[in-house]
Structure 1
């Protein structure tokens, strides 16, 4: 006993102190992990609440949109409290749809902005008193469901007359709201349904008697019952937006000049107050072959003046999916060929007159006229939509030269003049059509099943083209 100095007590106390420190450290780590897990659970629940609200918006048959002056970036940055404060006067439009212990925890807000209609959805968990987790805002672009139309059900659909002169040839059927006039010795169309009369020389009728007997006219009881502008592209919507503006609102459209400069292609073009001109290069910089678009991507460009081709330009090549809006005339001339690369698509929207004195070329040996765009939708390789409305004797669409042109042309307010010795492969819808010379129009049968959304309005539930937390 005299030799004992209390070392065992010291060692035991040290071990107890160490064990206590390890236990407290483990407890602190467990508390932190519990809080992290709780925060993660709350953030995921807030995200799920936002998705519940977004899903309810998608399922809603009728949404009450109201106007907002906010930008999309500002809206996505608003907190839950800021959303309530900003839109407190529109409580009926907020559409709260989740509730927990008397607390609303998800919301969707339908808004009409300058560039279209959107739904902003957001979710929370908890309250300011007991802590809160907020989701990021979910953005959905609203696209009104509209009745689908088949605007190219025949080689030519003309709301008024179709006139065939010289040896002009049509492979496919024609539909006319008024008369089919034969002037010359053209081969007969495969079929004809006209609301007026079929006018032709007796000798021509005798020569093609069997084919003509199968034609339908007003005398046979045929009535032209189609809407000339079945897509409604000549009409503004309730917000005074044109059809092209409605189409552009769903796209990321930039100025063609800006896009070319960003690609380092300033030498492709020249422009003044009235004209944007693809010139084929300037000085020592050659652009005789110029490119629009990027393979595998969608590019949407705007030109707010006349578009022309001239100078050294020989080939204008389209890659990827290109949406080109021309607020003026479109003149493809100067011996320029418009070439659509394999897998590429050109959607051309023109408010003025269209002149195609040169042609387009497609690699039809390896790929069909109908192609899949960047959204997986089957479209013609070239679609031309014209909102020009006839105000003088010059046709709104003029196709000449000796080259082949592949396009589906929709011009319900324009007269179309096809001359020269080239051919149009595709389909055509217009006010009045005149074909002369030795030209041809050969119908692409796949266009019969091609459907386009009409007018951007109509009954049925909405659809959404974007679901994302990012712009």
Structure 2
């Protein structure tokens, strides 16, 4: 009996010991949890303090203070040097926006080449959870925007040239005397963002680039080609004895910029789909220039053709011009709308009125200035007039959009296959290939529409061959945006801007950017793209 009581006592003592140990373990676990929670809170508070300060530093309101700070950091810090900012420096960087909550704030700044890195955190309870932001502070002349920007290659050969100009009244001349000098350009004229082997900018033959040229890989000059500005490369600058770089040749060392920040194929596809949903089903193939439908007009009120075969009745209408020249075409269109308003259009030297002949017939409606077609073809002797209404003007043009789900092709005779009047701007969204022939001539138009060129071609094509080909002496006054494809200019001229995977200006071509207009992403040359601050310095969170 006593042995049983002793055994029971041992069991009870063991149970009490176990409970005590479990209790102690629970207390320790609770203490650990509390400490972890405290550390986590301190870490979160530390990170939030840093994030709040950095967000204020890169805000638009603080643009001037941040720009001044970055310039001073480039000047004062040696490569590889770092330091902790003083209270006065924090106040200057924040634009006098420090508060009592920033009393424990610590900010370190360091330099690596052209990169300035800020680390900011709050020193709560010894915690350190920094927010890090890195700026590429290479300066305005080395920014990542350019009128002629490619992701893989830029090629100029033969007697081709690239230049920039400034003109509101007439399309820029090809005379170099009117070009803007490299010293006056606040951008790189040619820019290749490709950083893989084989990515490069190449000037061959007698090609000239009247401005600064920058490549994230190589720059190669052969023949007697010339760069009148500086040449910046992160790979190599290679040229023979007959070539020349008038400015400096600089090998840069900085992190390559991602091309998809600028050439956004997915974003373009989304925009096209939104336009299609807004409009509805395609109106089918449009073929302009056939015998009975040579003349077409696109306005905010619809897509019209001038039918020379079908008879109509009612009020008098006008026939085709006796001579296919620009004054006649413009007069046609003006009188067309006057006819809609009830004016007598028969007293006109350009047209003959006959009630037995047909006039303009609506082919398809335009919804919110948008129309969707399959293939768009201008052939034979076509005339396609794009115009706003009488209330529209060059300063406030009608913004017309056409989605082409197939291919866009201009060929045939005549000189004015496409006419964009001064009170209109046409934006084409083309899924297939675009090919422009000799009768595509926009050189007689006004060069700008409220800061934009008369025409923009957005190409979604990313297959084999050229996404956009400007051929046979044609002249496009406008911008080309081909984020997934290649753009070729063959003995022709583009007065505008080109952003593409590859840009080839071949034989005797001219690519000339007009500084009065936006570049290919429809933003001004000084505007920063997504991922950039508003101060000309590229930045990324880490």
Q: TM-score, normalised by structure 2?
A: 0.44
Pick 1 or 2: higher relative contact order, CA cutoff 8 A, min separation 6: 1
Q: Larger strand proportion, structure 1 or 2? A: 1
